[in-house]
Structure 1
Amino acid sequence: MTPPARRPFAHDGIAFGCDYNPEQWTPEVWDEDIALMTEAKVDLVAINIFGWSHIEPKPGEYDFARLDDIVGRLHAAGIRINLGTGTASPPAWLARRHPEMLPMAADGTRRYPGGRQAFCPSSPVFRDAAVRLASEVARRYGDHPAVALWHVSNELGCHNALCYCDVSAAAFRTWLRDRYATIDALNAAWGTAFWSQTYGDWDEILPPRTTLSTSNPSQTLDFHRFSSDELRCLYRAEAEAIRPLSDRPITTNFMVTAHIENMDYWSWAADMDVIANDHYLDGRLADPVAELAFAADLSRGLGDGAPWLLMEHSTGAVNWQPLNTPKAPGQIIRNSLTHVARGADGVCFFQWRASVQGSEKFHSAMLPHAGTDSALWREVTELGAIVDRIAEVAGSRVDADVAVVFSWESWWATQTESRPSQSLGYLDQVHAAYTAVHSLGLTVDVVRPGADLSGYRLVVVPGLHLVRADEAAAITDWVAAGGSALITFNSGIVDAEDRVWTGGYTGPFRDALGVRIEEFAPVAADEVVHLTDGTTARLWSERGRATTAEVVASFADGPAVGHPALTRNAWGEGAAWYLATLPDATAYRDLIARLAAEAGVRPPAPVQGDIAALELVRRRGLDASYLFIVNHAPHAATVTASGVELVTGAVVPGSIEVPGGAVRIVREEAAA
């Protein structure tokens, strides 16, 4: 199916907004809310996200009175609307009438209403009901002047991405028939000769439900692909219902964040008129700030570099982590403007007014329980004023010389039950590599496997476990043409069918790397290995040998003592580096610095002192370029720049001192 032509999202400047749930409040509160939104300079509000039971209280009976009212009030106040289809969670009456639509876990147990997303993505009952509702909403509001954007469902697959019920099983079999055509081709792809798993008929195939032993990893990989496609088809069904009834752009909110793995957004992106993402800081990570930057760069990458929307983030604590901590003073502004620096043309929060009941009553909001006499509210209004002042940045694009290759399929293929080490995951490698680049102030584009790399000087390929021959060739051919690439361990291990590339690990990268890896030698989580260059590493080592590569460092101890740990191979006009372990943060940063210097990659601007605590990103428009400087350190930093600073309005004569914890955005005098 060819996606329809994209409809642009047009907004005056950078959008500043929120999710709003007026159904939780009385109309008297709505008036107060809209007045405060105006004060905070909120100009884009998402409503009707969870509106199904309110606008369709009984099957086929629609009541739009309250939604009409709030749409009218927001419009009268000049606030544009990001209108939800209302289908994010089905009403109780639908589940009662059709319990077969409820999702099933891998162990065969049902999941019931009482939370959200209590539906099987493959359920025709749910899909038909959702499309009918989306059609009714679009028919009523499709040409309303307040509607700026359509918001299909909400965080599709957040809770129910993988459903193992009989309806899903039937849909999975249909998907497999379309993919493989014959049962023999499926058996070959899944390697079912192993453990007597060979199938003689399509009806014998089930989703990878809980087994007494480990399950077939190729079957599990395809189930992830199928599940992502099913949710995308659900999005498409609602979008197709809206499209003939409204000319406004249509999207849904992705979840490009550390803990959501089940949707391959590379395959979804073309269906979106504009990329939108939800991102929440994860306090369980070693470096949440670097992960925020990675998520923003990946969101931009999904739109091929075009501006995107931050549909949700938080003003403070969330409610779903083991420890939910508030943000430090100034952090709301720093986090928000980091997303803008990395290409967001909209900054929105969940949610406007903090709920007083329900599962999210302790989730932060723009208007907290403490009300307007609070530090949080004052920072929200300060941010709104800044967003208003930097309106001219909208539409500009980010400059990047470095690419990091990221793959949801590799994430799925790596996180199997049977793997060399349970202590190491795909994101561990991705985040470690990205953090090393980020700490040097270098700007990154996150790209899909097989992407055109011609615009980059340095490419980093962390743990690309699953890779097709043509995807590997896109990297090695780019190196041969003069590029510099770092490929890390666990890359090039299996093909698209999860079949091991034989002849030595690193598979289709082997010749370009000049290294032949013979055996994995993972390292215990509490152990450290030493390298001959004086650095330390952890979690992984490998036994192999250099064929044509120069050995830069070897393992000095551990299970792979004496074997290459870091190599460099001249390949055509370029250089292919291979890293066979996970270095400590300082060593990784020094390695990337060495490669960046070799490739001629520099930060967007010179800095006096340590650059590690700064975000330095340049957005470039038709008539001007904008240097974003986000200072996460408590002390001031000095950066070389000339032009006008947009946050304060000050003239920058050649350098700018950015106070600790502050953000500065310089409209540069001439294209830098």
Structure 2
Amino acid sequence: MAAPAHAFTHDGIAFGGDYNPEQWDPSVWEEDVTLMREAGVDLVAINIFGWAGVEPRDGEFTFASLDRIIELLHAADIRINLGTGTASPPAWLTRAHPEILPIAEDGTTRYPGGRQAWCPSSPAFRAAALSLVRAVAERYGSHPAVALWHVSNELGCHNSLCYCDQSAAAFRLWLRARYGSVDALNAAWGTAFWSQTYGDWEEILPPRAALSARNPGQALDFHRFSSDELLDHYRAEAAVIRDLSDVPVTTNFMVAAHIENMDYWQWAGEMDIVANDHYLDYRLGDPRTELSFAADLSRGLALGAPWLLMEHSAGAVNWQPINFPKSPGQMLRNSLTHVARGADAVCFFQWRASVQGSEKFHSAMLPHAGTGSTLWHDVVELGGIISKLDEVAGSRVVADIALVFSWESWWAADAESRPSSALGYLDQVHAVYAAFAALHVTIDVVAPGADLSAYRLVLVPGLHLVRDEEATVINDWISAGGTALVTFFSGIVDENDRVWTGGYTGPFRDALGIAVEEFAPVAPGARVSLGSGAAGTLWSERMHVTTAEVVDSFADGPAAGGPAITRNRWGSGNAWYLSTLLEPQAYRSLAQELVSAAGVESPVPVTGDSDGAVEIVRRRGDISSYVFAINHGSTSVQLQVSGTELITGDNTVATLEVPPGAVRIIREESAS
């Protein structure tokens, strides 16, 4: 993992967004810059999709327009997040090199007309992209306005999995490096099944569409390969920039519920600063809590350091089945949730709403309705509030709980031919996160195998794929005195998607003191009752205890009479196991028991929040600490806290009221 070359610095919390001046007549540019200053914008991303404008023909570069907009922004003291422009190839390139176009798993070509119409393994695309990057970096690499380099854009959003012959050749090279021999690959993939054994590297293909379920080991490795290919493209662009510029380099991650194909644990160390794009996903049952989880995961990728919110929306997006606007105050609450959870920048897509193209109905800081709109006034208000939070920049979030998250488990658990297609990996992750977050406790999201010594409580939701050494870290931490909750479908397969035998939960089995014999999924819409009166959905298991005690049992359903929740003393610690997806209130009750047992507390005491609608997070600096209280509910709550409220400037002693829909940020005068 490469060390960051240069650190991103900014005077306070950055505020801004994507600007696409190429969509507008130059007469609009000066007005835009003036309005940016009115809104408090101080960081703007440009040239994200600028390839066709900068290089209209192969090898012919023109920078007049980009020069002008850079100078306008610089003169207004607005710093620039400069894109390399490589996110989507221009028409001349795909015409000259149609082989760069990606191929879907069914063998059909994906053509230009959208974005990201390129294969990550294409040598022709790589060569053309690096030529552009070099030209842009040579021209602007030392420009004083450039504060950050933005490689490509949302790498892998649409083209993460390409099944073309170029990808097949690159996949074989990746497999050679991983396994060394075809025999080792056959063993890893279990190719003795269905007569899939390979005798030569050239026989191996990507997991293209087949008449039946495909080899899961092959599919898992193809995910790993595809993530690595895109990361290699990032590295190639970053290397060109670093040869020509001392400005820090990053790209915008997509830590969100609908993006699964990049293993960002492998990417994060290559960034000079971690940046993320996040949009509320109304296809989820609880989009607000998923926002908080994504922010915590972004901070986890940054290893606790501040990170950048590179994009989010002022209102509605344009790509969901129904695109809801944000309710009054929601943009402010969403934005400051990211800041509370470690973001040192609040940026949007985009500055001015497009009037043409597929994103013309995507919201923007400056909407179609103009400066007389409520949305514009909300943006200006947010910019003013962000300016009051500059002292928060650089501080870090404090957490006593770790949640172990794995992209590899996501890929493996959600593969073809699983016990229940009704249940996905993220269902477990989001459910356990929501239950604990509702108690106002703060959660760090960590990679499998990460050091757990700083935590009182560890959550292991559905860690389906786990290496023996990763499980050992968790087991040893429990034995040393920790409290952990492991949930069902954990410890099922190793890194090659090979089942751990001897009873499910595999390498966690002894620490948990149980043996799971058989999965017993529950039909969608059905419930299973527990002896305590709690209820679960989607899953149950037939198991028995070895050394664990039974905390609760199934009263009905396919595992009736068997354990549902267990607790095992392991060394000096306690290992809990949950074998169903508890309904929210029951899950919260279990979370409360575990939080109390582990000695975890909210950053400050809260009263009046009966439905868990308030977020409480502390960021700690060298001199002061800051408590963020974000009330998403419909009633006021009270905090036991003393200090200065940064938004209003009021001093509070002992108790602070947070009205419904409001945000309060309190500077505690000494770090605690």
Q: Normalization by structure 2: what TM-score?
A: 0.99
Contact 2:353 2:366 in 1 (8 A): yes
Question: Secondary structure at 1:475's aligned position in 2?
Answer: helix
Kindly state the Cα deviation for residue 609 of structure 1 after the two structures are TM-superposed: 1.7
Kindly state the Cα deviation for residue 669 of structure 1 after the two structures are TM-superposed: 2.5
Kindly state the Cα deviation for residue 526 of structure 1 after the two structures are TM-superposed: 1.8
Query: 1:257 maps to what in 2?
Result: 256
Kindly state the Cα deviation for residue 568 of structure 1 after the two structures are TM-superposed: 0.2
Question: Secondary structure at 1:498's aligned position in 2?
Answer: coil
Question: Secondary structure at 2:473's aligned position in 1?
Answer: helix
Query: What letter corresponds to residue 18 of structure 1 in structure 2?
Result: G
Query: 1:660 maps to what in 2?
Result: 660
CA distance in 2, matches of 1:400, 1:68: 45
Query: What letter corresponds to residue 112 of structure 1 in structure 2?
Result: Y
| 1:579-594 alignment runs, 5 A limit | 579-594=578-593
Kindly state the Cα deviation for residue 288 of structure 1 after the two structures are TM-superposed: 0.8
Could you list the per-position Cα deviations for residues 17-69 of structure 1 after superposition, in whole angstroms to 9, with x for gaps in the alignment?
Answer: 10000000011110110000000000000000000000000000000000000
Stretches of structure 1 that go unaligned for 5 or more consecutive residues are none
CA distance in 1, matches of 2:5, 2:449: 23
Question: Secondary structure at 2:370's aligned position in 1?
Answer: coil
Could you list the per-position Cα deviations for residues 207-242 of structure 1 after superposition, in whole angstroms to 9, with x for gaps in the alignment?
Answer: 000000110000000000000000000000000000
Query: 1:626 maps to what in 2?
Result: 626
Could you list the per-position Cα deviations for residues 334-367 of structure 1 after superposition, in whole angstroms to 9, with x for gaps in the alignment?
Answer: 0000000000000000000000000000000000
Query: 1:459 maps to what in 2?
Result: 458
CA distance in 2, matches of 1:460, 1:225: 25
Could you list the per-position Cα deviations for residues 58-95 of structure 1 after superposition, in whole angstroms to 9, with x for gaps in the alignment?
Answer: 00000000000000000000000000000000000000
Task: Answer yes or no: is 1:173 the counterpart of 2:172.
Answer: yes
CA distance in 1, matches of 2:655, 2:669: 12
CA distance in 2, matches of 1:47, 1:3: 27
Query: What letter corresponds to residue 618 of structure 1 in structure 2?
Result: R
CA distance in 2, matches of 1:513, 1:77: 60
Greater mean deviation of Cα atoms: 2-11 or 449-458? 2-11
Query: 1:239 maps to what in 2?
Result: 238
Query: 1:104 maps to what in 2?
Result: 103
Query: What letter corresponds to residue 633 of structure 2 in structure 1?
Result: A
| 1:167-566 alignment runs, 5 A limit | 167-566=166-565
Query: 1:115 maps to what in 2?
Result: 114
CA distance in 2, matches of 1:607, 1:207: 53
Kindly state the Cα deviation for residue 194 of structure 1 after the two structures are TM-superposed: 0.1
Task: Answer yes or no: is 1:140 the counterpart of 2:139.
Answer: yes
Query: 1:87 maps to what in 2?
Result: 86
CA distance in 2, matches of 1:59, 1:50: 16
CA distance in 2, matches of 1:620, 1:238: 35
Question: Secondary structure at 1:372's aligned position in 2?
Answer: helix
CA distance in 1, matches of 2:548, 2:2: 44
Q: In percent, how many aligned pairs have the same letter?
A: 70
CA distance in 1, matches of 2:525, 2:373: 44
Could you list the per-position Cα deviations for residues 594-614 of structure 1 after superposition, in whole angstroms to 9, with x for gaps in the alignment?
Answer: 000000001111111226111
Kindly state the Cα deviation for residue 425 of structure 1 after the two structures are TM-superposed: 0.2
Contact 2:412 2:465 in 1 (8 A): yes
Contact 2:4 2:271 in 1 (8 A): no
Query: 1:606 maps to what in 2?
Result: 605
Query: 2:637 maps to what in 1?
Result: 637
Kindly state the Cα deviation for residue 563 of structure 1 after the two structures are TM-superposed: 1.0
CA distance in 2, matches of 1:522, 1:637: 40
CA distance in 2, matches of 1:548, 1:378: 61
Task: Answer yes or no: is 1:573 the counterpart of 2:564.
Answer: no
CA spacing shift, 1:652–1:575, aligned 2, 3 Å: same
Could you list the per-position Cα deviations for residues 279-337 of structure 1 after superposition, in whole angstroms to 9, with x for gaps in the alignment?
Answer: 00001111111100000000000010000000000000000000000000001100000
Question: Secondary structure at 1:177's aligned position in 2?
Answer: helix
Could you list the per-position Cα deviations for residues 428-466 of structure 1 after superposition, in whole angstroms to 9, with x for gaps in the alignment?
Answer: 000000000111111000000000000000111000000
Kindly state the Cα deviation for residue 670 of structure 1 after the two structures are TM-superposed: 2.4
CA RMSD of aligned residues (A): 0.6
Could you list the per-position Cα deviations for residues 505-548 of structure 1 after superposition, in whole angstroms to 9, with x for gaps in the alignment?
Answer: 00000000000000000000021000111100010000010000
Kindly state the Cα deviation for residue 275 of structure 1 after the two structures are TM-superposed: 0.2
CA distance in 2, matches of 1:608, 1:341: 20
Could you list the per-position Cα deviations for residues 358-395 of structure 1 after superposition, in whole angstroms to 9, with x for gaps in the alignment?
Answer: 00000000000000101101110000000001100000
Query: What letter corresponds to residue 349 of structure 2 in structure 1?
Result: F
CA distance in 2, matches of 1:418, 1:361: 40
CA distance in 2, matches of 1:458, 1:428: 20
Kindly state the Cα deviation for residue 5 of structure 1 after the two structures are TM-superposed: 3.7
CA distance in 2, matches of 1:145, 1:350: 24
CA distance in 2, matches of 1:427, 1:334: 24
Kindly state the Cα deviation for residue 636 of structure 1 after the two structures are TM-superposed: 1.4
CA distance in 1, matches of 2:658, 2:532: 37
Query: What letter corresponds to residue 519 of structure 2 in structure 1?
Result: F
CA distance in 2, matches of 1:41, 1:347: 11
Kindly state the Cα deviation for residue 4 of structure 1 after the two structures are TM-superposed: 4.1
Could you list the per-position Cα deviations for residues 137-162 of structure 1 after superposition, in whole angstroms to 9, with x for gaps in the alignment?
Answer: 00000000000000000000000000
Kindly state the Cα deviation for residue 416 of structure 1 after the two structures are TM-superposed: 1.1
CA distance in 1, matches of 2:505, 2:636: 45
CA distance in 2, matches of 1:621, 1:4: 24
| 1:61-80 alignment runs, 5 A limit | 61-80=60-79
Query: What letter corresponds to residue 187 of structure 2 in structure 1?
Result: A
CA distance in 1, matches of 2:625, 2:87: 39
CA distance in 1, matches of 2:483, 2:386: 38
CA distance in 2, matches of 1:69, 1:655: 52
Kindly state the Cα deviation for residue 635 of structure 1 after the two structures are TM-superposed: 1.9
Could you list the per-position Cα deviations for residues 547-583 of structure 1 after superposition, in whole angstroms to 9, with x for gaps in the alignment?
Answer: 0000011111000111110000000000000000100
Contact 2:608 2:636 in 1 (8 A): no
CA distance in 2, matches of 1:592, 1:449: 21
Kindly state the Cα deviation for residue 634 of structure 1 after the two structures are TM-superposed: 2.1
Query: What letter corresponds to residue 623 of structure 1 in structure 2?
Result: I
